[in-house]
Amino acid sequence: MRTSKTTNRRNSWILISVFSLITLTSFYGRAAGGTSPTGIITERLSVRQMEIWRTIEQKALAQNAAGQPLYPTLQELFSWAKMTSFPIYIEMPEARDLWDCAAGTFLFEKPQAPAQSQPTAVTILLRVAVIDRAAGERTAGEHGFVPFEGLKGVDRYCEALAHELTHARQSVTDLEFLQLADRRKSLNDESVRFQLLRRTAETRQSATRGLQAIADELRLLTERIEGPARAVEQQVWRELRARRDKDC
């Protein structure tokens, strides 16, 4: 999930491919040992981060006087995540540098058995500082969904979490999801390599051809992977925004 104005929707597919590299990738061997944990696991959070997490959880599960969820889409997603058969680890790392503009990242541990399509573990990284400083403002003539528009603090964290939790759910409901994510990662790796080659005069032409060759596939894969997550994120944003407008 990207936020910075420098990586907004108007940017070229080249930039998109660079930044999508850090948003969704596979990993190995990060599951906790011993018994098999399931559902949302917050043991990697510091005391201060746990305070933030509790505000997120309170918001996600908030109900009105009649016991109805205040944010139905968020609540349904959060409740699903608590009941998964694999662990969903939550982390809140610091941004590595100014270029690290991913608000959230979804990592998955691939199953050992090839026939198994579900991940054995998922890690969601929420970069709260990146989320806090995301513009969330519509620029002149801009149409469509603008992440975090009109939201602050925990509302923004909830929106980012909804996006990443949707990826977690995709990894269960879409049997091809892990394969597609792997393919996108390898294409992203390739595109980064080509972009480096474009800096050199001798390899510029062939690198440009290489980038064009993978652009369409990358675009389709990104839409397949990110489309559902963006749709749920937008619906959660609507619910958070509607409540916020009501409270103001």
Q: Which residues bind Zn ion (CB under 5 A)?
A: 1, 226, 229
Q: Is the CA virtual torsion 143, 19, 172, 240 positive or negative?
A: negative
CB 146 → Zn ion: shortest distance, Å? 16
Please give the Cα distance from 26 to 181 (Å, whole number): 8
**Identity of the residue, 81 or 229, whose beta carbon is nearer to Zn ion in the bound complex:** 229
Q: Could you give the count of Cα atoms lying within 13 Å of 199 in the half-sphere of its Cβ?
A: 5
CB 116 → Zn ion: shortest distance, Å? 23
> Going by C-beta distance under 8 Å and a sequence separation of 6 or more, which residues neighbour residue 172?
84, 118
**Identity of the residue, 92 or 207, whose beta carbon is nearer to Zn ion in the bound complex:** 92
Q: Which residues on neighbouring strands pair with residue 104, listed in sequence order? A: 126
Q: Could you give the count of Cα atoms lying within 13 Å of 137 in the half-sphere of its Cβ?
A: 7
CB 9 → Zn ion: shortest distance, Å? 14
Contact (CB, 8 A) for 16 and 9? no
Please give the Cα distance from 115 to 107 (Å, whole number): 20
Please give the Cα distance from 50 to 56 (Å, whole number): 10
CB 126 → Zn ion: shortest distance, Å? 13
**Identity of the residue, 16 or 31, whose beta carbon is nearer to Zn ion in the bound complex:** 16
Please give the Cα distance from 221 to 169 (Å, whole number): 17
**Identity of the residue, 110 or 167, whose beta carbon is nearer to Zn ion in the bound complex:** 167
CB 23 → Zn ion: shortest distance, Å? 5
CB 48 → Zn ion: shortest distance, Å? 26
Closest residue to Zn ion in the complex (CB): 229
**Identity of the residue, 120 or 166, whose beta carbon is nearer to Zn ion in the bound complex:** 166
**Identity of the residue, 57 or 226, whose beta carbon is nearer to Zn ion in the bound complex:** 226
